[in-house]
Homo-oligomer: A and B are copies of this chain.
Amino acid sequence: MLSQVLKTIRKYRLFEPGDRVVLAVSGGPDSIALLYALKELNARLCLSFCVAHLDHNLRKNSARDRAFVEKAAGAEGLTFYCRTLDRKLIKETGHKEEALRRFRYDFLFSVAKKFRADKIVLAHHRDDQVETVLMRLLRGSGLYGMNAILPKRIIKGHVVVRPFLEVARADILGFLKKRRIGYVIDETNSEDRFLRNKIRNNLLPLLEKNYNPNIRETLSYFASSSGADYEFLSGLVEAFLKKNLKEKNRVLSLSLPSLAALDIALRRLVLRGVISRLKGDMRMITFKHAQEFEDLLFARPYFSEVHLPGRIVILKTKISVDFYISEKALI
């Protein structure tokens, strides 16, 4: 396993010697293996670590997990950062999965700041990737969903890296077993859990047996290749938005001709970009909405509107397309 981790680190240039890094450790097998693998490789990598643990506070034994990780970090002489989530706060913050995700990242970013870290390291591995790709494909997603998990990504100015992304789950478990390293049971708080488990336990073994014995590798390649395609298109779209998107009184506007001149592939991503700026996520926005948007631009009269989930209104005028959150439902 370690050689594959090194290969991934080199291929995507995940670390520079001397980097200060935050390891996100839940205490489950993946993140515990991450801790010990990087420690073993550190003679070559020359990193300074700290360990960050978010106590989700959603299960009875979350304090036990916290103590476990704190002890492991202490035994390795690593600084340990921890935060316990406020259950009430999560309940108040709307969509639970989105809220947890945001809290997790906020916590990691705050640790990165305290530790003056160059990078945040997450333990996602190849099977996470493959399961995520299948999950998105089954639920409905375009290219942007296939771009499941990237080895290196900048989120709000923080570099997030995933050195396990080309390692199979089985190899991680083998590594832990061989070195007799213990871990706690990883119960990620995820609404995806049910579907993910079904994919992991039923669908993937079935595909492996009846369709392609290398399906995990195949889908992992697919994710990697689509990820690069999506990143490229996103770059073009971000440049377009930076140049063309105007904001005034909470209304985001694009000129109608500039939108109409775009290739449809880019226009679909522009729509996503504007919506995520307005409402912070893309939940409930589907391919059908993108089709409606096309219809609005090219087939409906001026001053037509399209209404999307999240109270989003898109208004076509003679010169512009305006996006805003409807006041009506806000009152």
Contact = CB atoms under 8 A, between A and B. Distances in A.
A207 B138 contact: yes
Nearest to A133: B137
A202 interface: yes
Contacts of A137: 137, 218-219, 222
B202 A210 contact: yes
Contacts of A290: 225
Q: How many copies of the polypeptide does the oligomer hold? A: 2
A265 B143 contact: no
A225 B138 contact: no
A203 B134 CA distance: 14
Given A143-B226, A225-B143, A287-B225, A138 B218 contact: yes
B263 A225 contact: no
A212 interface: yes
A17 to B, nearest CB: 19
Interface string A139-175: 1111100000000000000000000000000000000
A198 interface: yes
Interface size bracket, A side: 35 or more
B222 A140 contact: yes
Contacts of A210: 198, 202
A290 B215 CA distance: 18
Contacts of A286: 221
Interface of A: 137-143, 195, 198, 202-203, 206-207, 210-212, 214-215, 218-219, 221-222, 224-226, 228-229, 231-233, 235, 263-266, 268, 286-288, 290
Given A229-B233, A229-B265, 17 more contacts: A137-B218, A137-B222, A138-B211, A138-B215, A138-B218, A139-B218, A140-B221, A142-B226, A202-B210, A203-B211, A221-B288, A222-B287, A225-B287, A225-B290, A228-B265, A232-B264, A233-B265
